[in-house]
Structure 1
Amino acid sequence: MTTIITPDICDEYPEVAVLDPILLNVGGIEAFGGPVRTVKCFEDNSLVKQAIDEPGEGAILVVDAGGSTRCAMLGDMLAEKAAGNGWAGVIMYGCVRDVDELAETELGIQALATHPRKSDKRGEGQRDIPVTFGGVTLSPGQWLYADNNGVVISERQLSLG
């Protein structure tokens, strides 16, 4: 099992991008990495659910929820399904809920904040497009590595010791 330590990654690979320090680490797996897949949506988690229902194959679902702090875009049931479907993690530029349960789920999860209210379900949003937040543009096919120190993005899979 490869150990992900983002300070070491930054030292060894100075070309990586580093997300601004805006996210909280709330999942049951504190250090995680994998290829990026994206969803862009606002206060509607329909496409988040759609993506999580598919095989994750060790990928990271990066969700640009517009930075909304008015509702949660991921909770315990979706997180449990993501873990069961082989996702390595979720990066949420928005809120999550059920944080006590998320901390027990075998999934890496980082989010902007927590909120108890669920999102709408209107089927709106986009998938597999570049998204920009935290000073970085994240695109499908890039690799993301995250731990308690932060989130780094690489154009390719990195060889980690």
Structure 2
Amino acid sequence: MSSSEPVRVPLDPGVAAAQLSDSLDETGVRGRVLDPAVRPLRAGMRALGRARTVRFVPAGTAGENPYDDMIDFIDSVLPGEVVVIAAGGSDRSACWGELFSAAAKGRGAAGVVCDGYVRDRGKVLELGFPVFARGTRPIDYRARMRVAAVQEPVTCGGVLVAPGDLVLAEDDGIVSVPRSREAEVASRAEARLATESDVLSDLLGGARLREVWERYRVL
């Protein structure tokens, strides 16, 4: 795959996080929704794509080039990928900010999910780049955090996310689908999307909830 080729996402963009979560439940795959403390920097943000993972750990010294690993990582991002940052919930520093966002957006990234903290909130919002995190901290990660691994399975927000897993992040929460189960889950989610449209229409038309439930078995 060339560096300019968008990553294929086999999911209707109209599918919501709740529909994806319900579809995971139907296939017996549970525990795939990240900690609700990981939220969008602003309501209405949405990111859908495949995971490109990086893990941060505490650092005791600055090191000679503390940013080299992240520079190489961001420069490797493919269009349509969601950057997934596993920081173990650490509040020692921010792991992401305006310039990283600008670089990732320029690479065509779909967004960022970080179970730690980010900074430059106002400037990131001006970029219009979807960022999800526990919150904001103005502190640079030099001599506080360092990159320990890239493109390896990571635990982010309490969920194991592997490179290439499907990630959907929106106001309702963040769902990760294992690549090995995505075809079945995506098919169910898209069917649920279509069915829920009929359910909504019937309910708004005055149908009783019990009647609708018995007809579609979807709520």
Q: Distance in 1 between matches of 2:85 and 2:132?
A: 10
Q: How big is the shift at 1:133?
A: 3.4
Q: How big is the shift at 1:26?
A: 1.4
| SS of aligned partner of 1:79 | helix
Q: TM-score if structure 2 supplies the norm length?
A: 0.65
Q: How big is the shift at 1:124?
A: 4.2
CA contact (8 A) 1:27 1:106 kept: no
* Alignment match, 1:106: 128
**CA RMSD in angstroms, aligned pairs only:** 2.5
Question: Structure 1: any 5+ residue segments left out of the alignment?
Answer: none
2:77 aligned with 1:66, yes or no?
Answer: no
CA contact (8 A) 2:44 2:171 kept: no
* Alignment match, 1:125: 148
Greater relative CO, 1 or 2 (CA 8 Å, sep 6+) = 1
Superposition map of 1:1-161 within 5 A:
2-14=13-25, 15=29, 17-26=32-41, 30-42=45-57, 46=67, 47-120=69-142, 124-156=147-179, 157=182, 158=186, 160=190
Task: Please identify the structure whose Cα radius of gyration is greater.
Answer: 2
CA contact (8 A) 1:60 1:144 kept: yes
CA contact (8 A) 2:87 2:156 kept: no
Q: Which amino acid aligns with 1:151?
A: I
| SS of aligned partner of 1:21 | coil
Give the number of equivalent residue pairs.
161
Q: How big is the shift at 1:55?
A: 3.8
The structure-2 alpha-carbon separation of the partners of 1:66 and 1:20, relative to structure 1 and needing over 3 Å to count, comes to closer
The structure-2 alpha-carbon separation of the partners of 1:39 and 1:27, relative to structure 1 and needing over 3 Å to count, comes to farther
Q: What whole-Å deviation, never above 9, does each CA across 1:30-59 have from its counterpart, x for those lacking one?
A: 111111111112257733332212242211
Q: TM-score if structure 1 supplies the norm length?
A: 0.86
Q: How big is the shift at 1:87?
A: 0.7
Q: Distance in 2 between matches of 1:29 and 1:51?
A: 27
Q: How big is the shift at 1:137?
A: 0.6
Q: Which amino acid aligns with 1:5?
A: A
The structure-2 alpha-carbon separation of the partners of 1:66 and 1:135, relative to structure 1 and needing over 3 Å to count, comes to closer
Deviates more, 1:44-53 or 1:92-101: 44-53
- More strand by proportion, 1 or 2? 1
Give percent identity, aligned residues only.
29
